Amino acid sequence: MHQDIEKTLLSSHQIQTRVAEVGLEIYRHYQRVSPDGKAQLTIVPILTGSMIFAADLIRHLPVRMKIRLVSISSYPGASTSSKGAHMQTELSGFASDLTGHHVLLIDDILDSGQTLKLASEQLSSFNPSSLTTCVLLRKNRPQAMSFKVDHVCFDIPDEFVVGYGLDFAGYYRNLPTISVLKPEVIRLHQAETDA
């Protein structure tokens, strides 16, 4: 796996330090919203990319919470650009954990903004008390920078990255860093799948 990496943008240590900081930021926000800790909080990680980030982040949020998972796909197979976001989860059963609850939506990366836009719109239709968004990464491109998101851990260059939950063709999610693949690895895989 490591021989496929061209360069690493964020080390595991950098990620852990920043996730703890943002966790504290979010914790303080909910302490202000609900000083007695009685407000209902529901965390909604978007699968599959945010699973590792969400698992780390929620351990820095010592508040009473529920977790509901949604699955949205936008990069089918070996593509490295969005093909439009599609909700894969039937949300109708989620109402009891969304309506009147404070909802924290978590995603791995803000790229075109289609995924967060779709998720925000669909969750808002359940009339939550508040809807807060949090991403690990935001790409430095106009569509991402102009999209309103409440908490961002890192701004990164507009490159296709893998690791810490993010994949290429389903692989590399278990890499502990945020890294860029060698271009030949992407070319080779795309040539194999096109063949």
Active site residues: 111
Site for ligand IMP in 49-78 (CB under 6 A): 49, 74-75
Stretch that binds ligand IMP, among 17-25, 93-101, 103-111, 119-127 (CB under 6 A): 103-111
The answer to whether 46 touches 119, Cβ cutoff 8 Å, is yes
Residue 166 sits in the site that holds ligand IMP (CB under 6 A): yes
The token pair that represents 25 in the structure block:
């930021």
CB of 31 to ligand IMP, least distance (A): 28
Q: What is the dihedral of CA 160, 76, 163, 145, to 10 degrees?
A: 50
| Chain position whose Cβ is nearest to Mg ion | 49
| Residue 40 touches which of Mg ion, ligand IMP, none (Cβ within 5-8 Å per kind) | none
From the list Mg ion, ligand IMP, none, pick the one residue 132 interacts with, judged by a Cβ distance below 5 to 8 Å according to partner type.
none
Could you tell me the smallest distance in angstroms from the CB atom of residue 54 to Mg ion?
11
Q: What one-letter code names the amino acid at 92?
A: S
Is the Cβ of residue 25 or residue 167 nearer to Mg ion in the bound state?
167
Query: Which range in 2-10, 48-56, 97-105, 153-161 contacts Mg ion by CB under 5 A?
Result: 48-56
* Choices 89-97, 104-112, 122-130, 181-189; region in contact with ligand IMP by CB under 6 A: 104-112
> For residues 131 and 49, what is the distance between their CA atoms, to the nearest angstrom?
20
Q: For the chain, first and last CA: distance in Å?
A: 23
114 binds ligand IMP (CB under 6 A): yes
CB atoms within 10 A of CB 28: 10
How far is it, in rounded angstroms, from Cα 37 to Cα 64? 8
CA separation for the pair 58, 26 (Å, rounded): 10
Among 8, 14, 79, 82, binds ligand IMP (CB under 6 A): 82
Q: Which is nearer to ligand IMP, 113 or 128 (CB)?
A: 113
Among residues 18, 33, 97, 108, which one has the least CA distance to residue 63?
33
Q: Which amino acid is at 102?
A: H
Tokens of 111: 């790229």
Contact residues for ligand IMP, defined by CB under 6 A: 46, 49, 74-75, 82, 85, 107-115, 160-162, 166-167
